[in-house]
Amino acid sequence: MIDRYSLPDMAAIFTDEARMQRWVEVEVAVLEALAENGGASPDHALACRTNAPTVDAAFVHEVAEREKVTDHDVAAFVDVLQQKVGMPHGAWLHHGLTSTDVVDTAQCWALRDAADLLIEAQSDLIEALVELARAHKDTPMIGRTHGVHAEPTTFGAKVALWALQVDRDRQRMMEARANIAVCKLSGAVGTYSNISPEVEAHVADHLGLIPVPATQVIARDRHAEYLWACASTATTLESIAVELRHLQRTEVGEVREGFKVGQKGSSAMPHKRNPISAETITGLSRVVRSHLNVGLQDVALWHERDISHSSAERIVLPDASLATHYMLRRMVRLISGLEVDAQRMRENLDMLNGVVFSQSVLLKLVEAGSTRDDAYRIVQEAAAQAMTRSQSFRSVLEENPKLGLTSADFDEAFDVRRVLRHAARAVEALNYLD
């Protein structure tokens, strides 16, 4: 992921230095577990722990130079690590392991930490959405279906539904975290030919991971599930962003993204104030969803393993994590600084002179004895007249003496408070979020 969409705390998880530092820890922890279980000398384990290097840019460079000879990144890493630790102790590093024991365990460790950052960001977004929903629990606005005015709703209800969806994504991420926080040290084809399950369990406990049966690799449905949790989150964020973009359109004008001092909306047109955060989030969601497709294709590997997944994962796992994290943080900022124009919302609700209460009138006519189809045609014709002639929908109806509705009937049918009397249910559901 390019620096523009990489935040420091998530980016730190996926640096070459962080990756190889995890490899160092896995290697040393395995040797310590071997010593604990009688498979290696405690002196070797202690020396390797004491002399284990802190991975820096110079270490990464040495591995890259060594890889030019080995044409194998983990073999190059082991060569450099053994040299740094020194002989004879260093010769016991990587004892009984295959490369993927180290790589997969370290990668799952990294994805677990990435999931923690994503869950934290999701929680912050939920908090911001809950605050906004409660602030506008009773703010009426027009609901739109197919982009056309439908019936009144509240802005609070709209935002509350977003919060509930982000919470479902948080639950998905928690489940993905649980399924990716695993470890395997079972060797070349997963049979523990040279490392015992007890050693694997010891290392897993040390790293805070769960040991699982595997072939040479940890099953990739786990990684695909993690990418699905990212893609689902990204899609939810896009759905919020698209709605906010529509509501900020000049013709609608019901919300506006925050605009800081000195900010410019256009290099050419000084009046412009564009929904740039929402548009950025919309675009990045397309990237994250594309990574899910790669993750799903990585599940089907040959026999006990091949490396067709490896090259793809070096791109999609970090990039999906970074982009999703950036999108979440950008959306928190957007929601926290969102400007809501309640007056414009009410003006838009009243724009069509009351025809948005057509269903209420329809039901009143049915209750007064009309057939549903007859009532529908009467209301439909009256609504068309009101919109075409810019007349009050209620007055058009009241001019028809055959309707048989009282003034009280009309008052009730056109009462926005009655229509919205249960709209707060979505906001109240937020009380049950953790």
Once rounded to an integer, what is the mean pLDDT over residues 308-313? 95
Q: Which of 193, 266, 290, 308 is catalytic?
A: 266
What proportion of the chain, given as a percentage, has pLDDT over 70?
A: 100
Query: Per-residue pLDDT for 294 more than 90?
Result: yes
CA distance 149 to 5: 36
Question: pLDDT tens for residues 232-251?
Answer: 999 999 999 999 999 999 99
Question: pLDDT tens for residues 188-223?
Answer: 999 999 999 999 999 999 999 999 999 999 999 999
Question: How would residue 434 be classed by pLDDT, with cut points 50, 70 and 90?
Answer: low
- What would the DSSP string read from start to end of 272-299? ----HHHHHHHHHHHHHHHHHHHHHHTT
Residue carrying structure tokens 């104030």 = 273
Distances (CA, A) of 113 to 29, 106, 120, 312, 321: 19, 11, 11, 20, 10
| Mode of pairing for the β-strands spanning 255-256 and 182-183 | unpaired
* Domains of the chain, earliest start first: 109-184+215-258+269-350 (1.20.200.10), 355-413 (1.10.40.30)
What distance lies between CA 416 and its chain's CA centroid? 35
What proportion of the chain, given as a percentage, has pLDDT over 90?
A: 94
Query: Per-residue pLDDT for 383 more than 80?
Result: yes
> Which amino acid type is present at position 323?
A
Once rounded to an integer, what is the mean pLDDT over residues 110-127? 98
Once rounded to an integer, what is the mean pLDDT over residues 276-302? 97
**Over the chain, what is the mean pLDDT?**
96
Question: pLDDT tens for residues 54-66?
Answer: 999 999 999 999 9
Please say if 146 is a catalytic residue.
yes
CA distance 26 to 38: 18
Once rounded to an integer, what is the mean pLDDT over residues 387-411? 93
CA distance 386 to 397: 9
Residue carrying structure tokens 């629990």 = 137
Quote the pLDDT of residue 269.
Answer: 87
